[in-house]
Structure 1
Amino acid sequence: MPNLSRRGALKLTAGMAVLGTLGLTGCGREDGATAAKSSASPIGDSPATGTVTVWAAQGDADVLDKVIKPFKSANPDVTVKFTLIPNADYYTKLQSAVAAGKGPDIAQFFPESQAQFLDPSILQPVPGGLVDPNSFFKSLWDAGVVDGVAYTVPWYAYTYALVYRSDLAKKAGVEAPATWDEMVPFFRALQRAGAKHGLAADIGWDIFNGQDVAMYAWQAGGSLLSSGGKWTLDTPAMIDALKYNASFFTSGVADTATPTFLDAQPYFVSGKTATMITGPWVVGQLDTAAKKDGWTASHVATAPLPAGSSGSVSFSAGGSWGVLADSGNADASWKLVRHIAQPSTQIAQYKAYSSLPAVVSAWDDPAIKGQPLLGAFLTQLKNTRTFPQVSTWQQVATRIGKEMEAVARGTSTAEKAAADIQSYADSLGTGAK
């Protein structure tokens, strides 16, 4: 089921442009080890000096120059230069710069779509002792680890939860669904309470639909890769996931025609839809969509994702940082990355832009802990997995999304779709060396 309020809707699409063009990583894992080996020398505590160039995608990084003022004050002899690039162009421009040997010292990545960069020819290993891997949400740290080597440090985090019209749920006399079986009845109850459709969904959101189906396959007890690095997609769990996701459309609780991406919040506020499966950023945006302060507090609630036969697992996403292999100032670069990973910096980033911390302890800050609608996202972040850290994942995810649409429209069965996905993935392989 596609997310219609995705903050960085073009992140993954942009990443697809570089698939197959970089030196690519070996087979990935869905559940990496928290500990990672590193051959890099430890980074000391002496002040950073020189110039550090940073590339980032527009959005969360827009305020970062202000957020790191304490770092610049504590390191007066360092100059940090930011280049912000539109999301749609970011990975393409970064790949071109890397290939030409003209990349920045530090680059932003996205844990859900960074696999093609996790290679020693592109990124330096994270120095031992730079940060505590256990301080981050596990799946976010694992997303940067390949063959036991960590290449990125998490920055901000998000995952999915249910965001629904609490006023309509109260009117219908229903609680948030806790299991798959309760989902469609919940949506129908919200429709009886006045919503035109129970769920906001865009059936043609291919790569994002694919991510969602993968998430549901985990919930059904499946995996995407075997322990030996082979695709495992033609499985009972994948078939169940395809049927579950398609059921939102075939049951009529979601419309196969609307809403599209930009319609999501206006539809939700107006009651054309009553639920979104989306990220935490939407919580801070609905008052604006409603044109009324306090509307969200009186009309909206959140809940973790309903559980399949194997639980309520979701996927981890967000932002991360890596230092390029040919950085001319690696020492100062890693010191800046270390500063950004501190809880105080991540809290400052949240206050400036509502980017939720990747460091678990930062969620205890009153600025975040006092936001009741964020609790479901914290619960869900503690139960997440990372997508396969292989270079072909985005292509496979896109194919899963297309096959899901065919099942939802009745032009294919879930069984045939799963077989077709497996065949396609096998033809691509994993990009392993």
Structure 2
Amino acid sequence: MRKRMIAVAACAALALGGCGRDTGGNSDTAKAVGEGKATGEITVWAMGTEGEKLGEFAKAFTAENPDAKVTVTPVPWDAATQKLTGAIAAKQTPDVSMIGTTMQGGLAKTGALDPTPADLFPKDTYFPGAWDTTVVDGTSYGVPWYVETRGIFYRTDLAAKAGFPDGPKTWADLHAMAAAMKSKAGAKWGLNIQPGKTGSWQSVLPFGWSNGAEITDGRQYTFDTPAMAEALTYYQSFFKEQLAPANLAQGALEPAFVKGEIGAFMSGPWHVGIINEQGGEGTYAVAPMPVGKSSTSFIGGSNIAVFKDAKNRDAAWKFLAWLSKPDVQVKWYQTVSDLPAVQSAWQDPALTGDPMLKVFGEQLKSAKAPPAFPTWDQVAAAFDVEVEKVCVGGADPAAALKAIQQQATAIGTGA
């Protein structure tokens, strides 16, 4: 899911110990940001495609603020950890940096991020799950920039043959559709979901959340619950009944889906372009996450934040305010296909006119993110290992969750 997912691995190195954090108000910043135009140079670090495109895109900001200059430094995801930690340690940070949502907790704990001026960035402006990724110990650092979520892509022809022409609505529907796609519609596999490989927590947790499970009580991890055990047992059933492949080769999903060998899969909006490019346009639709007790998906994406050591802090916040304008969010989507984190941007025809994007837009309203604990990447890695034992090795889901809980408790939250 593009190189940004490498950000998951960044948290451990960013969880620097012993750094203080000022959680006091920043009303002076809010007042300064709210007055006048931006001036001076604003230095920005951004990763992946965003780093490549933001410099040109920001020319529209400098057109509105002619005495300001935005200098963007593209940073490869695999170098982001070293550059950020080095810059923080040397107190030579840029004014602004893009921050993957799973990096937020570790970075905030260093004390290097400037608290968000609440008066200028009302949290209700953004999708709730996205805003929550900026909050560490009750304080927001930065704002959501763009978002991602997950849904169920399904072949409409195979779904019709399976008896689900409108796709799955509930957990029972998803299981029955996957089974019938294989037995009645000629698919080799009814559904592709991650079998415990790196990042599989992004696929498993939505089922847990949809079943009412919570993986933290705000103070500690809480994986070992009946609701999560029920969700993981349901997830395992697709592998036990050979409805989902346990060892699909990398790159094999898309061509298999286009050929009708895989009837459905769980993924995000970036897959629309990939499937269309491979000849699948017009053969599929996207459904929201099926309902257990709710329909709750995972929310990812990236935040963007200002550093306390910023040389041009007020102008930096003005730049973030500009990036949060609904029309700018839409133009950014049209530039790089990043989905807007600002809810009102989804009222624009550029998004409302696309039925698949509409599904993702609705899903974002209830989507959740993992906790912004500095240790999340370590815990997620342990989670993935145990899930693979469940899906590929047939291990008992309840026992796996006890093992995850033990490891998570030992690792701690880093709070």
Same fold judged by TM-score > 0.5?
yes
Deviation at 1:417, TM superposition (A): 0.6
Which TM-score applies when normalising by structure 1? 0.89
Q: Label 1:178 to 1:24 Cα distance change in 2 as closer, same or farther (>3 A).
A: farther
- The amino acid of 1:14's aligned partner reads A
The aligned counterpart of 2:247 is: 257
Q: Highest relative contact order (Cα 8 Å, sep 6+), 1 or 2?
A: 1
Deviation at 1:184, TM superposition (A): 2.0
1:46-85 C-alpha deviation (Å, 9 max, x unpaired): 1211111111111234322233222110111211111112
SS in 2 for 1:385: coil
The aligned counterpart of 1:303 is: 287
1:83-116 C-alpha deviation (Å, 9 max, x unpaired): 1122233233222222222221101012244211
C-alpha distance in 2, partners of 1:9/1:256? Answer: 25
C-alpha distance in 2, partners of 1:362/1:356? Answer: 9
C-alpha distance in 1, partners of 2:19/2:154? Answer: 40
- The amino acid of 1:109's aligned partner reads I
Q: Label 1:15 to 1:120 Cα distance change in 2 as closer, same or farther (>3 A).
A: closer
Deviation at 1:273, TM superposition (A): 1.6
User: Superposition pairs for residues 196-211 of structure 1, below 5 Å?
Assistant: 196-206=188-198, 208-211=199-202
Does structure 1 residue 317 correspond to structure 2 residue 300? yes
Which TM-score applies when normalising by structure 2? 0.92
> Between Structure 1 and Structure 2, how many residues are aligned?
409
Question: Is the Cα contact below 8 Å between 2:11 and 2:102 reproduced in 1?
Answer: no
User: Superposition pairs for residues 41-120 of structure 1, below 5 Å?
Assistant: 41=28, 42=30, 43-119=33-109
Gap runs ≥5 in structure 2? none
Moved more, 358-367 or 181-190: 181-190
The aligned counterpart of 1:288 is: 277
The aligned counterpart of 1:39 is: 26
Q: Label 1:152 to 1:117 Cα distance change in 2 as closer, same or farther (>3 A).
A: same
The aligned counterpart of 1:339 is: 322
1:123-154 C-alpha deviation (Å, 9 max, x unpaired): 00112322222111011112112233210111
Q: Label 1:180 to 1:429 Cα distance change in 2 as closer, same or farther (>3 A).
A: same
Identity of aligned residues (%): 36
SS in 2 for 1:272: coil
Does structure 1 residue 277 correspond to structure 2 residue 272? no
C-alpha distance in 2, partners of 1:12/1:242? Answer: 25
Q: What is the root-mean-square deviation in Å for CA atoms of aligned residues?
A: 2.1
Q: Label 1:193 to 1:271 Cα distance change in 2 as closer, same or farther (>3 A).
A: same
Q: Label 1:23 to 1:284 Cα distance change in 2 as closer, same or farther (>3 A).
A: farther
1:232-271 C-alpha deviation (Å, 9 max, x unpaired): 11111221122122222111111111142x3332222222
The aligned counterpart of 1:367 is: 350
- The amino acid of 1:278's aligned partner reads S
C-alpha distance in 2, partners of 1:248/1:83? Answer: 44
- The amino acid of 1:176's aligned partner reads G
Deviation at 1:339, TM superposition (A): 0.4
Question: Is the Cα contact below 8 Å between 1:201 and 1:259 reproduced in 2?
Answer: no
Question: Is the Cα contact below 8 Å between 2:4 and 2:47 reproduced in 1?
Answer: no
- The amino acid of 1:11's aligned partner reads I
The aligned counterpart of 2:2 is: 7
The one of 235, 251, 258 equivalent to 1:245 is 235
Deviation at 1:414, TM superposition (A): 1.1
Deviation at 1:301, TM superposition (A): 0.3
The aligned counterpart of 1:351 is: 334
Question: Is the Cα contact below 8 Å between 1:219 and 1:307 reproduced in 2?
Answer: yes
Question: Is the Cα contact below 8 Å between 1:67 and 1:345 reproduced in 2?
Answer: no
Question: Is the Cα contact below 8 Å between 1:10 and 1:88 reproduced in 2?
Answer: no
- The amino acid of 1:395's aligned partner reads Q
Does structure 1 residue 190 correspond to structure 2 residue 181? yes
Question: Is the Cα contact below 8 Å between 1:24 and 1:117 reproduced in 2?
Answer: no
Q: Label 1:123 to 1:195 Cα distance change in 2 as closer, same or farther (>3 A).
A: same
The aligned counterpart of 1:416 is: 399
After TM superposition, where is structure 1 displaced by more than 4 Å over at least 4 residues in a row? 22-26
